[in-house]
Chain A
């Protein structure tokens, strides 16, 4: 894929690749951007991807050092049909629309995707009485392919689920996908189509907010000029909105903890197992992942927007998740847990999908309250935002005939296509036969390949999300130092300066003496 957008990191360390360093605004050219997207989560990346089909000057920026580094990295990775969304809402409309596009989108973007289906089960009389309502709701949401199942039919589909099952609903198109590849794929194509990308850049002020061309003041002291500002900063969207004084809204991050089970558990459960949803959440689910594990979760815990422990895990919640999930699949108690994680939903007090065009000022769009469904809805939400910009912000759209909308075959992640199965490739490049992540069976060659991929990932976590090295049962016990050494050697960064997720997260404390 030829890269025509510019990519820079605000990474001032002297050992960081000079050609990737963001030093001056001049590097971006002196014409103002038509659109600047603040926040490179799944929604920001989807928007950059969809906008890159047009002749526009676009900037995508994020304070982190990779795409999808915040809310977008911790979720259930389910591509929803929207069967249980609140009927008649924008959220429901966008999910339903997006879910039908997903199979084709995944093929184009080379995102591992599987239509595994979901099984909603009632295990007591109270739940049983609600099942008909759920079925009705699915039909009203336009998800007409749902099927009612008897207990026998449910057990036939998933023999390992609880024998207490009374009745069930099968939602055949509920799917699973790789959430990490999604933000990466969107932004790689956007970059190829000429979108500029800045990492490590935080917007701390906005000048000329009522002018046609506004100036973003950044944490690195550089001003960036742009006509339209799209605030898709997720949990940070409130802080950005304060800079231009948009309509008041509040963010109450809602934490969702998950347990990850080892791969052997995946062979016993094939469908997403759903309890009957409540007002607040969908309850504790058992979810097969595209990577071959099972996960159980999420919890739903409300936080204030400045709590630093929001992404922590807690033993009490994890235990209660296990109890909840094993009501659906009792065998889960015996399955080994290999890891845990927390996702943080960008929950807006005033309602989900908080979208405001010309928010306080012409040319500014606020997008907040995109909860866990943002992963599914991202392609449809991006299209919706573009039509808003066209209708309400006066953005002129002219298709760019040179734009591409897909990634090349070679973009499939190695863990999905297994490059070492190609003996010709190993003969040519033996490093693809040298497995360094034993648990996920990822080769040295795959790490090198990804370091050279379009977004030039340079952190351990960025490499982890792309290759899966360090994501397996040993959680980096065997390969963490090896991966760090490969980044160090390939990118000429001293090993002690390799970071987990950007400056400040160096693997070696900066004030230790030379040993």
Chain B
């Protein structure tokens, strides 16, 4: 193994929060910064929402009264910000292990193989993912093919021009679920049926009205204990409230859960089973010199919130570095 490479600050994750932190740290005069990203592109979740035929403008720039843009456009803007700064970018780099006390990351990438990076401060901006059926706790039944997460659906639609289903059923009624219904309709599927474990959809009425431009999904709330997926080889429907709702594909949407496993590996304090890392007011984790930014903090935040949160965390990191030197 090569000897350890040292940086002032390491940032794990090149989504909105990670880029926000990196760019701000760079502007504040921090010399050596590296941002480590496991996928092959910058932008995180927004980058999955492509500006393509049938594309749907979602998520970002709602909060500040701006018009919705395509996620991809926001990701490109993030990338531009990052490339302007002097931050070193390491794509396709998976952190395997961390030593929290020594602030060392062991990572692997195609260029270097397994290698150690260390830093004076480390920001975890690892984002979140959608909860699995088991994590939701009310979703069971069979295990057929064509039960997708939103990320998988978007990748099939936009990266591969494949419409996986005609009659979609969406499990999860927040913004992500309604956006997925719109996206599917725009791609040629019929209006989706959306189901969730609550009486009324989690997505706000304003957001639902916005997505009416593309589709008008039917909503069914769960009154009994569980939703059962049916279908032997391929998904054929769900059973809910004693009724069968047929479909030829299912998308499991929303209900974000933090990607905090690196913190857990390093014995940094994380609340279980919510997976939220324990942070102080200035976003410090339980080990000195470790910070968290963006959706890893838990909850459901849009790209802009994460970007600005990343900037805020960067300021906390600058304070920490000046205090500790």
* A433 CB–B CB distance under 8 Å: yes
Q: Which residues of B contact A480 (CB under 8 A)?
A: 148-149, 152
Asked whether, in the complex, the Cβ of A426 is within 8 Å of the Cβ of B110, the reply is yes
Asked whether, in the complex, the Cβ of B163 is within 8 Å of the Cβ of A504, the reply is no
- Take A338-B134, A509-B166, A512-B166 as given contacts and tell me if A476 and B149 are in contact as well, using a CB distance cutoff of 8 Å: yes
* A260 CB–B CB distance under 8 Å: yes
Stretch of B62-70, B116-124, B153-161, B288-296 contacting A (4+ beta carbons < 8 Å): B153-161
Asked whether, in the complex, the Cβ of B273 is within 8 Å of the Cβ of A336, the reply is yes
A316–B157 Cα distance when bound, in Å, is 36
Asked whether, in the complex, the Cβ of A435 is within 8 Å of the Cβ of B233, the reply is no
Closest Cβ of chain B to A328, distance in Å, is 19
Q: Which residues of B contact A481 (CB under 8 A)?
A: 152, 155-156, 159-160
Q: Which residues of B contact A512 (CB under 8 A)?
A: 162-166, 188-189
Q: Which one of B132, B188, B264 contacts A513 once the chains associate, using CB atoms below 8 Å?
A: B188
Q: Which residues of A contact B61 (CB under 8 A)?
A: none
Closest Cβ of chain B to A70, distance in Å, is 13
Interface hits, A430-463 → B, CB 8 Å: 430-435, 438-439, 441, 443, 460
- Take A499-B145, A509-B248, A515-B157 as given contacts and tell me if A334 and B273 are in contact as well, using a CB distance cutoff of 8 Å: yes
* A477 CB–B CB distance under 8 Å: yes
Asked whether, in the complex, the Cβ of B130 is within 8 Å of the Cβ of A504, the reply is no
A306–B166 Cα distance when bound, in Å, is 30
* B226 CB–A CB distance under 8 Å: yes
Asked whether, in the complex, the Cβ of B225 is within 8 Å of the Cβ of A316, the reply is yes
Closest Cβ of chain A to B153, distance in Å, is 9
Closest Cβ of chain A to B45, distance in Å, is 11
A496–B161 Cα distance when bound, in Å, is 10
Q: Which residues of B contact A421 (CB under 8 A)?
A: 114
Q: Which residues of A contact B312 (CB under 8 A)?
A: none
Q: Which residue of B lies closest to A494 (CB)?
A: B162
A514–B53 Cα distance when bound, in Å, is 13
A435–B39 Cα distance when bound, in Å, is 9
A507–B54 Cα distance when bound, in Å, is 21
Q: Which residue of A lies closest to B186 (CB)?
A: A515
- Take A509-B166, A512-B165, A514-B161 as given contacts and tell me if A474 and B132 are in contact as well, using a CB distance cutoff of 8 Å: yes
A6–B249 Cα distance when bound, in Å, is 36
Residue tally, chain A, CB below 8 Å to B: 64
Asked whether, in the complex, the Cβ of A338 is within 8 Å of the Cβ of B108, the reply is no
Asked whether, in the complex, the Cβ of B140 is within 8 Å of the Cβ of A340, the reply is yes
Asked whether, in the complex, the Cβ of A505 is within 8 Å of the Cβ of B144, the reply is yes
Which one of B38, B113, B189 has the highest number of Cβ atoms from chain A below 10 Å of its Cβ?
B113
A435–B36 Cα distance when bound, in Å, is 13
Q: Which residues of B contact A395 (CB under 8 A)?
A: none
Q: Which residues of A contact B112 (CB under 8 A)?
A: 423, 426, 433
Per-position contact with A for B89-117: 1 when CB-CB < 8 Å, else 0? Answer: 00010101000000000001111111000
Q: Which residues of A contact B140 (CB under 8 A)?
A: 312-315, 318, 340
Q: Which residues of A contact B132 (CB under 8 A)?
A: 338-339, 473-475, 477
Interface hits, A448-498 → B, CB 8 Å: 460, 473-478, 480-481, 485, 495-496
Q: Which residue of B lies closest to A488 (CB)?
A: B160
* A11 CB–B CB distance under 8 Å: no
Q: Which residue of B lies closest to A318 (CB)?
A: B140
Q: Which residues of A contact B151 (CB under 8 A)?
A: 477-478
- Take A338-B134, A499-B145 as given contacts and tell me if A515 and B110 are in contact as well, using a CB distance cutoff of 8 Å: no
* B143 CB–A CB distance under 8 Å: yes
* B234 CB–A CB distance under 8 Å: yes
Q: Which residues of B contact A339 (CB under 8 A)?
A: 132, 134
* A104 CB–B CB distance under 8 Å: no
* A121 CB–B CB distance under 8 Å: no
* A511 CB–B CB distance under 8 Å: yes
Asked whether, in the complex, the Cβ of A473 is within 8 Å of the Cβ of B111, the reply is no
Closest Cβ of chain B to A288, distance in Å, is 17
Interface hits, B156-209 → A, CB 8 Å: 156-157, 159-166, 187-189
A495–B149 Cα distance when bound, in Å, is 17
Q: Which residues of A contact B249 (CB under 8 A)?
A: 509
* B141 CB–A CB distance under 8 Å: yes
Q: Which residues of B contact A506 (CB under 8 A)?
A: 145, 234
Asked whether, in the complex, the Cβ of B226 is within 8 Å of the Cβ of A314, the reply is yes
Q: Which residues of B contact A473 (CB under 8 A)?
A: 132, 261
* A305 CB–B CB distance under 8 Å: no
Asked whether, in the complex, the Cβ of A515 is within 8 Å of the Cβ of B111, the reply is no
Which one of A339, A499, A515 has the highest number of Cβ atoms from chain B below 10 Å of its Cβ?
A515
* B1 CB–A CB distance under 8 Å: yes
Asked whether, in the complex, the Cβ of B114 is within 8 Å of the Cβ of A420, the reply is yes
Asked whether, in the complex, the Cβ of B272 is within 8 Å of the Cβ of A335, the reply is yes
Asked whether, in the complex, the Cβ of B165 is within 8 Å of the Cβ of A477, the reply is no
A388–B134 Cα distance when bound, in Å, is 45
Per-position contact with B for A335-352: 1 when CB-CB < 8 Å, else 0? Answer: 111111100000000000
A382–B159 Cα distance when bound, in Å, is 48
Asked whether, in the complex, the Cβ of B129 is within 8 Å of the Cβ of A474, the reply is yes
Asked whether, in the complex, the Cβ of B226 is within 8 Å of the Cβ of A315, the reply is yes
A313–B1 Cα distance when bound, in Å, is 45
Closest Cβ of chain A to B254, distance in Å, is 12
* A308 CB–B CB distance under 8 Å: yes
Closest Cβ of chain B to A87, distance in Å, is 38
Asked whether, in the complex, the Cβ of B141 is within 8 Å of the Cβ of A313, the reply is yes
Q: Which residues of A contact B159 (CB under 8 A)?
A: 481
Closest Cβ of chain B to A256, distance in Å, is 15
Q: Which one of B145, B148, B226 contacts A505 once the chains associate, using CB atoms below 8 Å?
A: B145
| Extra A-B contacts (19), CB below 8 Å, given A439-B261, A514-B163 | A260-B134, A336-B135, A336-B272, A338-B135, A433-B109, A433-B114, A438-B94, A443-B108, A475-B134, A477-B129, A477-B149, A485-B160, A504-B233, A504-B234, A505-B233, A507-B156, A507-B164, A513-B163, A513-B188
- 14 A-B pairs in the complex with CB atoms less than 8 angstroms apart: A264-B264, A337-B137, A340-B140, A433-B110, A435-B94, A474-B129, A477-B129, A477-B151, A480-B148, A480-B152, A509-B165, A509-B166, A509-B249, A515-B161
